[in-house]
Structure 1
Amino acid sequence: MTSSKVRALTAVLAILVPIAAGAQEVRNREANQQGRISQGIGSGQITAGGAGTLESREAHINASRRADLAAHGGHLTNGETRRLNGRENALSKRIHADKHNDIAQPGVMPR
């Protein structure tokens, strides 16, 4: 293979690998945050109403991710990945705040 072909292939891979990693990172964060919400419900740290709000926000982020993927042939652009990560960061802070706000689920003994 000529050096120009190697450089071209390297350039293509350098662009595609981070895009694929970005979509996977967003999916992993969504799963992790859903687990944190479930754990908060189970421990009584998050009320049913609070969980509904958090899950609704997570569903909106997931819908945005699916729309972005559909719009770009199954890939997220760097900007979309940054935007989704920003929304996930905000939701993560909200989950933390809800779990540590001293409001317990009625009938559930906090752990």
Structure 2
Amino acid sequence: MATASSAGYPESGRSQAVRTERRTSTETKPAFKSTELFVYLAAVVAVLVASAVVGGNAVRADRFPADRAWWYITLLTVGYMISRGLAKCGSREPTDPTDRNTT
């Protein structure tokens, strides 16, 4: 038989009460539901179209070559990844769509 300590816990060291927590919110809403995904995709398409339209001809050199366009797309991708990371680290969305009380 375990004797109780001065704090009221058994001497065995294990607490009898098991704490269970229910997850009440998700990290953030999915990326396809956010406007930043659509802005990112529009910017990528705009860079690709601009690179194709501004191409050079026989008289002048190509002022917006493909390697520069892909560099800009890489920068856009890094910016998008950073923005999603910042969005995920600080906001919460309720798991139950009917429960809008977040803690």
* TM-score computed with the length of structure 2 as normaliser: 0.43
Which structure ranks higher in relative contact order (CA pairs < 8 Å, sequence separation ≥ 6)?
1
Q: Which has the higher helix share?
A: 1
* TM-score computed with the length of structure 1 as normaliser: 0.41
